[in-house]
Amino acid sequence: MMHGLVFSNGYEKEISVGNSLITSYFRCGCLSSGRQVFDEMFERNVITWTAMISSLVQNELYEESLELFNQMRSGPVCPNSLTYLSSLMACSGLQALTGGRQIHSLLWKLGIQSEVCIESSLMDMYSKCGQVNDAWKIFESAQDLDEVSMTVILMGLAQNGFKEEAKRFFMKLFESGIEIDPNMLSAVLGVFSEDTSLSLGKQIHSLSIKRNFGFNSYVNNGLINMYSKCGDLEESAKVFSRMSQRNSISWNSMIAAFARHGDGCRALQLYEEMRSDGIAPTDITFLSLLHACSHVGLVEKGMELLKSMTDVYGIIPRAEHYACVVDMLGRAGLLNEAKTFIEGLPVKADMLVWQALLGACSIRGDPEIGKYAANQLILETPESPVPYVSMANIYSSRGKWKERARTIKRMKEIGVSKEIGISWIEIEKEVHSFVVQDRMHPQAELMYGILEELLELMLEEGYVPGNVTPTECQTGICLTRYIQNFQDLYIFGGNLEDMSKYALDIGAGHGYFKRNEESEQLRFQQRGFGFH
């Protein structure tokens, strides 16, 4: 009503009215109306331009916002700090390093590069563009630092592969008694939960209780994820049940937690509760649900969910959803059905989908469909060793040694090669590294002995090598429990022997083993970065 009145009077073309209207329209999601007011204004000041640019950024329309920023710069109105800030955020969103650097040099010329908000935005831009070194330089020379800039650099380190440094950084902040706000805490939970550091996670939990952050949904959602990724599903469920207000991320996190632990039934049950609570599922809810169905072999239920996604909620499935379905069919041994499903897809199958099919063929040892999937994958990613290695493995599992040799030869001819994966663990500042079948370590015999013991325990639990069944999911949980005990031993004064029990890659992938690409961390330390 109000805007109709304003429009009919033409007042919206005046600066003061137009500026207010732009902000209000964007706040209520009326993007085109906001833009229309902007386009039709007689005169625009710095607030008009900045309101428009920042509104576009907040709606993730980064390219459009940068176009407007450039347009502004060629006109008579000069940008101010807030305009530059919004443009930097657009560069972060687009991971546009060149544009970000250009804005950085403009800020230098204007002498406003050291305002704390500008510095944190610059650090964020560099981190998101993969240039954590540049972010670190700004951090080191910064005059003012606050919770935001601390969180930015912490996330920057973690997201660029320097997780250990990020942890040390946080521990320093924690020990120094600096004010830690809930935003930083939820960011830290995300970093810590990927490394199965249950005891650290528990410390953060107690800190959040002490600081009275118990009502913060970001912190609680972070705790749900941290506990579930660290193997303590019941603690996740406790955090979830104590929450007074749950948003879709809370529900998704808890559903994913059950799915991750192989408890498909509880995941599906929770989905029903979510719906009866009136919370609409999102595309991510369906990914977790399909994942859950895949791991417990609930094929029909999974197909029903996929259908309801579009029919009931109007969510268009993405390639990830289709890949989950292919994985589900494949794990259930329905390889032909998986192939037919892919052929009937409304969109062109991508790498993820073919990888899922090939993965299923590897598990089942199916050379025929495997070859079909591998060829499709080679078309998508000609430089990848994955299809060749998978095919070689399928052939060896079937005793087809000639075919295996031919595949390896072909791989060499084309010039693709697989980098050997190295696992390592740091014990008392010494790094112990391993490759597959490695017997170079002085205590290798002891370690292989323990590995055999673990395998026995797994077999007792019903583990069938190479056969993925619901039982194996149970075994996965069991294995997590054993490993957790070993970790406790270490934390409470264990020795090398206890550590070596999980220094071996027993294939569970629970995060104790540093992957190859993380060797960056060592280089980082050698360069004298970070905290020692």
Residue 390 near DNA by CB under 7 A: no
492 neighbors 438 (Cβ within 8 angstroms) = no
> Is residue 391 a contact residue for DNA (CB under 7 A)?
no
For DNA, the binding residue among 5, 10, 11, 16 (CB under 7 A) is: 16
Residue 260 binds DNA, judged by CB under 7 A: yes
The 138-167 site mask, x for binding DNA (CB under 7 A), equals: --------xxxxxxx--x------------
453 vs 501: CA distance, rounded Å: 10
Under 8 Å between Cβ of 221 and 250: yes
Q: How far is the CB of 229 from DNA (least distance, A)?
A: 7
Closer residue to DNA in complex, CB, 151/407: 151
| 253 lies in the binding site for DNA (CB under 7 A) | yes
String marking each residue 490-529 x if it binds DNA according to CB under 7 A = ----------------------------------------
* Rounded Cα–Cα distance for residues 293 and 263 (Å): 9
d(Cα 315, Cα 312) in Å, to the nearest integer? 8
What is the distance between the alpha carbons of residues 516 and 430, in angstroms, rounded to a whole number? Answer: 17
Distance CA 115, CA 351 (A): 44
CA atoms within 13 A on the CB side of 251: 25
At 44, phi and psi to the nearest 5?
-130, 135
Could you tell me the smallest distance in angstroms from the CB atom of residue 402 to DNA?
33
Could you write out the three-class secondary structure of 381-429?
A: CCCCCHHHHHHHHHHHHCCCHHHHHHHHHHHHHHCCCCCCCCEEEEECC
Should residue 289 be labelled a site residue for DNA when binding is judged by CB under 7 A? no
| Sequence letter at residue 414 | I
Minimum Å gap between C-beta 504 and DNA is 23
Alpha helix ranges (H) inside 11-96? 15-27, 31-40, 46-58, 62-73, 81-94
The reply on whether position 267 binds DNA by CB under 7 A is no
Q: Which helix (H) or strand (E) holds 335?
A: helix 335-343
Structure tokens at 422: 């190295």
**Does residue 87 belong to the site contacting DNA (CB under 7 A)?**
no
Choose which of 51, 72, 377, 504 interacts with DNA (CB under 7 A).
51
Binding segment (CB under 7 A) for DNA, from list 103-111, 112-120, 162-170, 442-450: 112-120
Query: Which stretches does DSSP call E strand in 170-258?
Result: none
Does residue 248 belong to the site contacting DNA (CB under 7 A)?
Answer: yes
- Record the tokens describing residue 310, joined without a space: 């579009």
**Given the complex with DNA, which of 51 and 353 has the nearer CB atom?**
51
Counting contacts by CB under 7 A, is residue 475 touching DNA?
no
In the list 37, 41, 47, 499, the residue contacting DNA (rule: CB under 7 A) is 47
Residues 181-220 that bind DNA (CB under 7 A): 181-184, 186-187, 189-190, 193, 216-219
Residue ranges that bind DNA, judged by CB under 7 A: 15-16, 19-20, 23, 46-47, 50-51, 54, 58, 80-83, 85-86, 89, 92, 116-117, 119-121, 124, 146-152, 155, 181-184, 186-187, 189-190, 193, 216-219, 221-222, 225, 229, 247-250, 252-253, 256, 259-260, 282, 284, 287-288, 291, 320
